[in-house]
Amino acid sequence: MVRAKEKVMRGVFFIAALASVLAVALICVFLFAQGLPPMLRIGVLDFLTGDRWRPTAAEPSFGILPMILGSVYITGGAIILGVPVGILTAIFMAKMCPKPIYRFLKPAINLMAGIPSVIYGFFGMMVLVPAIFEIFGERFDMMSGNSMLAASILLGIMILPTVISIAETNIRAVPRELYEGAVALGASHERAVFKVILPAARSGVLAAVVLGVGRAIGETMAVRMVAGNQTVLRMPYEFFSGVRTLTSNIILEMGYVERESLHFGAIVATGVVLFVFILIINLLFSVLNQDKEAR
């Protein structure tokens, strides 16, 4: 009787575990089945390296290189702006923060994580974009405040709660003995934190950065409201110009596109590229992580 119960429960747990795997598998199948044929019809190379996106023109062209680069630039910018702030905040919260400030800071950061991205988008549109245009518009002959810079700053803010909470948890998880040992050997509090605890928490902090990258590259709503969405090929130093990201490209045209048209296929194919992107990033960081652990 007990054994039968155990078997049933084991099955239940197995099915629960299977559900998430199944979901991922289904998404993969859908994406590749719908996305690959149009990609082949356009030509994989033309699709990935083409710099013109004119889906509804008389002679349509589907090149997503500007969007691939756009995603890379904006995510890179967000990481440059957000990760240092996030990690330092995490160190402060875990090791240096007085209790009364912590009691205020922690809920504030949790609240930040709960703000819907469309609200961030509105903030970016009403505050960030006009401010950037006001400050830099004339000097750099900007089209508008909608720019890579605006998107990077906004995303830098949006990834903060993710980076902070994961990094903080991992810094707290470092055994106290390490810190005490460092202090006993004569290290100051700061030195012990930066030289002993932070390196010990390295893989966890890295995981925080990965999640940050994932959040940044997958963000759609807020980015499309401030990034400008031009499908022009940009260089990384043109951060006062607008770009379109892979995610924005999908959401911008999804609402109107005719099913089973090549345009629809090209949009799904954009999703495939995005998916592969995220796979590569995850793989890269897990390889990095393994290296660190092996050492």
Q: State which residue, 32 or 112, has the beta carbon closest to another protein.
A: 112
Largest CA distance in the chain: 79
Nearer to another protein, 87 or 210 (CB): 87
Cβ 252 to another protein, closest distance in Å? 4
DSSP H or E run through 62: strand 61-62
Angstrom distances, CA of residue 212 to CA of 11, 68, 117, 242: 35, 18, 15, 22
Angle between helices 148-158 and 160-172 (to 10 degrees): 40
- Find out whether 197 and 171 touch, Cβ atoms under 8 Å: yes
Pattern 41-80, binding to another protein, x per CB under 8 A? -------------xxxxx----------------------
Q: Pick from 84, 107, 175, 236: which binds another protein (CB under 8 A)?
A: 84
Closest CB to another protein among 195 and 292? 195
Decide if 213 contacts 75 (C-beta within 8 A).
Answer: yes
258 belongs to the binding site for another protein (CB under 8 A): yes
Helices (H), the chain: 2-42, 44-49, 65-91, 99-114, 117-123, 129-136, 148-158, 160-172, 176-184, 189-192, 198-200, 202-218, 221-226, 246-254, 262-294
Considering only 13-21, 100-108, 137-145, 201-209, which stretch makes contact with another protein by CB under 8 A? 137-145
Nearest Cα to 223, choosing from 74, 101, 61? 74
Binding mask 165-194 vs another protein (x if CB under 8 A, - otherwise)?
-----------------------------x
Part in contact with another protein (CB under 8 A); list of ranges 7-15, 167-175, 178-186, 253-261? 253-261
Selected binder of another protein within 9, 127, 280, 287 (CB under 8 A): 127
Q: Which residues bind another protein (CB under 8 A)?
A: 54-58, 81, 84-85, 88, 125-135, 137-138, 141-146, 153, 157, 194-195, 224-225, 228-232, 241-242, 244, 251-253, 255-259
